[in-house]
Amino acid sequence: MDSNIVVAEHAQAAHRAVRHHFESAEQQRDASTVGMWVFLVTEIMFFGGLFLAYFAYRHAYPTAFASASNKTDLWIGAANTTVLICSSLTMALAVHCAATSKRMLLVVFLCLTLVLGSVFLGVKGYQYHDKWVHHEIPGQNFHCEGCADATHTPLFFSLYFGMTGLHATHMIVGVGILLVLIFQSWQGRFDAAWHTPIENFGLYWHFVDIIWIFLFPLLYLIDRSGKGLS
């Protein structure tokens, strides 16, 4: 492969060039969209293992899960979900702006997404800290005040930290990528003809949002009426 020539092409036409092995810009764009979706399928299966563990243990130890879930803060959780959904909206609008070549609005919406994502992570950090203070982290001097079924309660918190932790890791990676994209958008790298990175990042961000849409009811909303199980 004649990388010199390709490098030169890149220098000249920056990102816009259709890479040498594609027949057309359409084929290139289509390939990266398909690739992104295939990647997201791997992410579905990656989180799938955790969801399986969740359902298995919730099925086996309903009481432990019900009482442990009540240790989470429903309203903070709901508020944080709202924040994340807002960030999904701003991201969708950012893609829209990229597709209509509105550079400034694109930067603004990406920045908003960044801010909302950071707020979400901040609240998550606060909640983790709260759990630390109350000794509700498994393996670290675990102690759950008033929890039924003390043997299996730690499993809920293991899953809580496993699932939200993996989700937060994805968010942190997303925030990192966002910083780069904001910089590149500011430089005017994206327009209607080519904004594949923005589009693919949008897919990633929405996917992370979807994971949270499931985590919220599964972790925060078990037996909130207080009489079903226990």
Partner 1 sequence: MAAHDAHGHSEVGAHTQEAHIVPKRVYFLVFIALIILTWVTALVSRIDMGPWNIFVALFIAIIKASLVVFFFMHVWYGTRLTKMIVASGLFWLILLLFITMADLWTRNWMGVPGR
Partner 2 sequence: MITAPPPVEVEKNYINAEHGLKSWLLTQDHKLIALLYLISVTAFFFIGGLFAVFIRLQLATPTGAMFDSNTYNKVFTMHGIIMVFFFLIPSIPATLGNFLIPLMVGAKDLAFPRINLLSWYIYIAGGLFTLWVLFNGGVDTGWTFYTPFSSSYSNGYVIAAGLGIFINGFSSILTGLNFIVTIHRMRAPGLTWFRLPLFVWAHYATSVIMILGTPVIAVTLFLLVLERGLHIGFFDPAYGGDPVLFQHLFWFYSHPAVYIMILPSMGVVSEVISTFCSKKPFGYTFIAFSSVAIAVFGFLVWGHHLFVSSQSVYAGMVFSVLSYIVAIPSAIKVFNWTATMYKGSVRLTTPMLYSLGFIGLFTIGGLTGLFLACLGMDVHLTDTYFVIAHFHYVMVGGAIMGYLAGVHFWWPKMFGRMYPEGWSKLSAVIIFVGFNLTFFPQFILGYMGMPRRYAAYPAEFQVLNVLSSAGASILGLGYLIPFVYLIWSLKYGKPAGPNPWGATGLEWQTASPPPTENFEITPVVTTEAYEYSTEEVVHVG
Gap between the Cα atoms of 83 and 96, Å rounded: 20
* Structural contact between residues 111 and 178, judged by C-beta atoms closer than 8 angstroms: no
User: Which contacts (CB < 8 Å, 24+ apart) does range 166-170 have?
Assistant: 166/46, 166/47, 166/50, 167/208, 167/211, 167/212, 167/215, 168/121, 168/124, 170/43, 170/208, 170/211
The smaller minimum CB distance to partner 1, of residues 78 and 104, is found at 78
Pairwise CA distance, residues 70 & 203, whole Å: 33
Smallest gap from residue 120 Cβ to partner 1 (A): 13
**Binding residues for partner 2, total number by CB under 8 A:** 47
Range 55-84, binding partner 2 (CB under 8 A): 56-57, 60-61, 64
22-41 footprint of partner 2 as x/- string (CB under 8 A): xx---x--xxx-xx--xx-x
Q: Are 58 and 65 in contact (CB under 8 A)?
A: yes
Say which entry of partner 1, partner 2, none residue 128 contacts (CB below 5 to 8 A, set by partner kind).
Answer: none
70 binds, among partner 2, partner 1, none (CB under 5 to 8 A by kind): none
Per-residue contact string for residues 143-182; x = within reach of partner 2 by CB under 8 A = --------xxxxx--xx-xx---x----------------
Q: Contact, 74 vs 221, CB < 8 A? A: yes
Considering beta carbons, is residue 8 or 41 the nearer one to partner 2? 41
100 contacts partner 1 (rule: CB under 8 A): yes
Selection from partner 2, partner 1, none that 21 binds (CB < 5 to 8 A by kind) is: partner 2
Structure token pair of residue 186: 């500011």
* 151 binding partner 1? (CB under 8 A): no
